[in-house]
Chain A
Amino acid sequence: MLLAACMALPRAAPAAEAFITDQDGNAVTVLDLATRQTVATIPVAGKPAGIAMTGDGRRAYVTSPSTQTVSVIDTAARRVIGHFAAPGGPLGIAVHPSGSPVYVADWYTDQVMVIAPASGRIIGRITVGQSPSGLAVTPDGRLLVVADRMSDAVSVVDTASLKEVARVGVGAHPFGLAIDRAGRRVYTADVESNSVSVVDLVTHTKLGSIKVGKRPYVVALDGPHGFVTNELASTVTVFDVRTLAKIATVPVGDYPEGMQASADGRFVYVSNWDSNTVSIIDAQSLSVVGTMGAGSSPRAFGTFIR
């Protein structure tokens, strides 16, 4: 009850921050996006990789494949306040817009674990395609979409029944994915076919695809533009979400992976796994306007900005 009382207190809006999982650093680096400086390093064991930020920005859930756990971060306090067991290969992670439950993909199976953050217990399992990777939930919370890496498909899951309601083929080995604000379309980064696929979440059909750079990994959306990190090309491809035409290729650091747009849409942040940096892309000029230092092997696979 004390907790509820605290949560009801008004609080000042926090400065925008990025929580970057540093896989080899066994840490999450917190970057202040206004000053572009590191403001905290939070130890997180087990090669942290995936991250999901709650809608209110108060909690971040981080997957650690090596310890098969999910760490709960109190973002304001900048510390780990708990762990959930996530047996298997926890990697991709998402949180429901209401704050609960948390969905964790098991890379080694065809299962997504459903975890109640209040208890830390696994309250359900969703059977999807093989080697589920990136996860995202529609803004209305009704659908969970899963990139099934080894099935070359996305699974569309009804969050109420925890059942797969459709499976739609995309390119080869989809890894990251992003859903648009309308909850109408999902975009997948197809690692082995060097493409981004676009799937309609209402008709359950593939609408088209875009040729991008080598080994695309993660997609981010920002207004009229889609962005995809190309791991082997050390670039980000920018495309028009309406015409699906390629607009620009932006050189970033080496092995770019996790990527997300700022809440105000002005910048897109790219974590560069090999360079140990985060590139800042200006969403207007579509060029890199700054680079921040990160920890060792930053991945930031998921939603990492609050």
Chain B
Amino acid sequence: MMRHRAAVAACLVLAAPCVAVAHGPTRQKLELSVEIAAPPAKIWAVIGNFHDLSWVPAVAHVEGPGGNDPDSAKRDVTLKSGGAWTAEELSDYDAAKMTYGTFLPHVDVKVLPVADFSTHLSVTAEAGGISKVEWRSAFYRGFPNNNPPPELNEAAAVKAVTAFCQPALDGLKAKLESGH
């Protein structure tokens, strides 16, 4: 638990009263999207399974129980970098609206420098045969106390989540528009 060690170290250095808290006070919001010249159903067929992240370049492997049932589904995600997280939850799932939400209560900040990481993925039809894929995220910085080091501040968290999501959206567009 790197995060806790870092927090304890900060307490000692500052010699101030301080407790290990869950996260910082300001949640970050990141909204990424891509427009794809393909029908929504065709896109949803690729991304609409909670246990299939083969469309996300950073991910090597996903496994877990519960299918697409928000009451029981969980997934363990292994990254190509070697990092991993476990017990990511499916917070909601609506195939008719082509949307699902996730929530990751705990992740090693060396893998992803965030806390309380949630996402919403959705596909909507736009005009002219275009679909919009939206991947919205909400998260706190990786450092739970005041005065975060640069690698665990808000900017680092936004950068890391962008690096996870954006290539996936770009890759999805390239794949679907090339006819595969």
Contact partner, A89, options B25, B92, B101, Cβ 8 Å: B25
Residues of B contacting A192 with CB < 8 Å?
Answer: 105
- Given the known inter-chain contacts A107-B21, A130-B21, please indicate yes or no for A49 contacting B26, CB distance below 8 A: yes
Q: Does B22 contact A (CB under 8 A)?
A: yes
Q: Is residue A96 within 8 Å, beta carbon to beta carbon, of the partner chain?
A: no
54-98 of chain A: CB within 8 A of chain B = 65-66, 88-89, 91
* A232 cross-chain contacts in B, Cβ below 8 A: 91-92, 101, 103, 118
Nearest-neighbor residue (CB-CB) of B16 within chain A:
A109
Contacts of B103 in A (CB 8 A): 214-215, 232
Q: How many A-B residue pairs have CB under 8 A?
A: 66
In the assembled complex, B87 has its CB within 8 A of some CB on chain A: no
| Cα-based distance from A240 to B73 in the complex (angstroms) | 31
Whether a CB of chain A sits under 8 angstroms from the CB of B173 is no
| Measured CA separation A90–B92 after assembly (Å) | 32
- A123-139 contacts to B, CB under 8 A, are 130-131
**Would you call A255 and B25 a contact (CB within 8 A)?**
no
Q: Check if B26 sits within 8 Å of A66, measured CB to CB.
A: yes
Could you say which residues of chain B place their CB within 8 Å of the CB of A108?
18-19, 21, 145-146
Q: How far is the CA of A131 from the CA of B24 in the complex (A)?
A: 11
Q: How far, in whole Å, are A207 and B19 apart by their CA atoms in the complex?
A: 29
Contact B29 A24 (CB under 8 A): yes
The verdict on B138 contacting chain A, using a C-beta distance below 8 Å, is: yes
Structural contact, B101 and A47, CB atoms closer than 8 A: no
Q: How far is the CA of A107 from the CA of B20 in the complex (A)?
A: 10
- Contact between B29 and A297 (Cβ–Cβ < 8 Å)? yes
Q: A219 on the interface (CB 8 Å rule)? A: no
CA distance A105 to B25 in the complex (A): 12
In the complex the two chains form, is A91's CB within 8 Å of B25's CB? yes
Chain B residues numbered 103-140 whose CB sits less than 8 Å from any CB in chain A: 103, 105, 118, 120, 136, 138
Residues of A within 8 A of B17 (CB): 109-111
A254 interface residue, CB < 8 Å from B? yes
Bits for A230-260, please: 1 = Cβ < 8 Å to B, else 0: 0011100000000000000000001100000
A109–B25 CB distance below 8 A = no
8 A Cβ contacts from B1-57 to A: 17-22, 24-27, 29
Whether the Cβ atoms of A274 and B21 lie closer than 8 Å is no
A220 CA / B145 CA spacing, docked (Å):
29
A24-B29, A91-B25, A232-B91 given as contacts; is B19 within 8 A of A254 (CB)?
Answer: no
Which residues of A have CB within 8 Å of B26?
23, 47, 49, 65-66
How many angstroms from the CA of A233 to the CA of B118 in the assembled complex?
A: 12
Given contacts A130-B19, A150-B19, A214-B91, contact A89 B146 (CB under 8 A): yes
CA distance A251 to B177 in the complex (A): 35
Q: Residues of B at under 8 Å CB distance from A?
A: 17-22, 24-27, 29, 91-92, 101, 103, 105, 118, 120, 136, 138, 145-146
A-B contact pairs, 22 of them (CB 8 A): A23-B27, A47-B26, A49-B25, A108-B21, A108-B145, A108-B146, A110-B17, A130-B19, A130-B21, A131-B19, A150-B22, A214-B91, A215-B103, A232-B91, A232-B101, A232-B103, A233-B91, A255-B138, A273-B27, A273-B29, A274-B136, A297-B29
